[in-house]
Amino acid sequence: MRKGAVFPLNLRMDQPDPPLYGRGRIRQTLLARPSGRDDYLDNVWPQASSQWDSLRHIRHPEHGFYNGTRDEDIAEGGGPIGIDAMARRGIAGRGVLLDIARYFSRAGRPIEYTRAELITPDDLEACRAAQGVALHTGDVLLIHTGWLHWYLTEATAAQRERMADREQLQAIGLGPADTIAEYLWDVHVAAVAADNPALEAWPPREETGGFAHFRLIPLLGMPIGELWQLAPLAADCAADGVHECFFTSAPLNVPGGVGSPPNALAVK
């Protein structure tokens, strides 16, 4: 931490709107009391907005859940691989932002945010080198694609409605699946998050290695963050040339939870 600038990385819980991937809208009820106000929330989908995917979220079609966890181990709440395993300790350490949106723009590669464009390991390494930042073991890697900023500021209502249908959603993201998994393993990051819908390019395609979630979550045991609000942090990094930060995240301590808002902060 150098200057004490704080960047919350969570979206509002009612965004994106309409929710993606068939998830529901959060509902808030406000209660008036003589001493003040109270409220409660209904229809909370912890992965409808900015999110962590816990290791319980995805099972590999052949190898199952992470570390040999059996279905019966997580049939109910609890078990060894829910979001509570992350919440009990929290996540704190060095964060590194790779600003792919600005790197592509400066390289003359305009991004079409309604297409499933791949961000490859070579792209990540070229961006990292251009920024002059190193990755160290245990870092949290943050990837700014610009997708969420585009969605919030430029996408039309009709486009947002179409994207709510997972069969019509297309978005930039990491790939191909096998090489991106190899890259993230080789650079020894502890977790990875981005500002796009699925971290990887959507939809997954066989010709680009299939579903990267199958490799990252159940095989590598790597927490994945999606739909994080990274544009303000990226703008500050571009302004002062510093692309590292102190990172902290406190996921919800829900026994056996599948996902959670990250409750993440970047401090520079």
Length of the chain: 268
Answer whether 27's CB lies under 8 Å from 43's CB. yes
Q: What is the pLDDT of residue 78?
A: 76
Whether the pLDDT of residue 75 is over 90: the answer is no
Q: Is the pLDDT of residue 79 over 90?
A: no
Give me the phi and psi of 247, to 5 degrees please: -120, 135
Say if 260 falls within a structural domain: yes
Cα 230 to Cα 151: distance, rounded to the nearest angstrom: 13
pLDDT 10s digits, 6-55 = 999 999 999 999 999 999 999 999 999 999 999 999 999 999 999 999 99
Let me know: does 173 contact 101? Beta carbons within 8 Å. Answer: no
CATH number of the domain residue 56 falls in: 3.50.30.50
* pLDDT tens digits for range 84-114: 999 999 999 999 999 999 999 999 999 999 9
Kindly tell me if the per-residue pLDDT of 77 is higher than 80: no
Q: How far apart are CA 267 and CA 8, in angstroms?
A: 9
168 located within any domain: yes
Q: Could you tell me the residue range of the domain that residue 71 belongs to?
A: 6-267
Domain assignment present for 108:
yes
Residue 76 pLDDT: 77
- Reported as a single tens digit per residue, the pLDDT across 228-268 is 999 999 999 999 999 999 999 999 999 999 999 999 999 99
Q: Is the pLDDT of residue 74 over 90?
A: no
Partners of residue 244 on adjacent β-strands: 96
According to the model, what pLDDT value does residue 257 have? Answer: 95
Report how far Cα 58 is from the mean position of its chain's Cα atoms: 15
Q: Does 1 map to a domain? A: no
- Express each pLDDT in 179-229 by its tens digit: 999 999 999 999 999 999 999 999 999 999 999 999 999 999 999 999 999
Q: Which residue from 63, 67, 95 is spatially nearest to 82, judged by alpha carbons?
A: 67
The helix (run of H) or strand (run of E) holding residue 177 is helix 177-186
174 within a domain of the structure (yes/no): yes
In a domain, 111, yes or no: yes
Residue 220's pLDDT is 97
**Domains in the chain, number:** 1
Query: pLDDT tens across 114-169, in order?
Result: 999 999 999 999 999 999 999 999 999 999 999 999 999 999 999 999 999 999 99
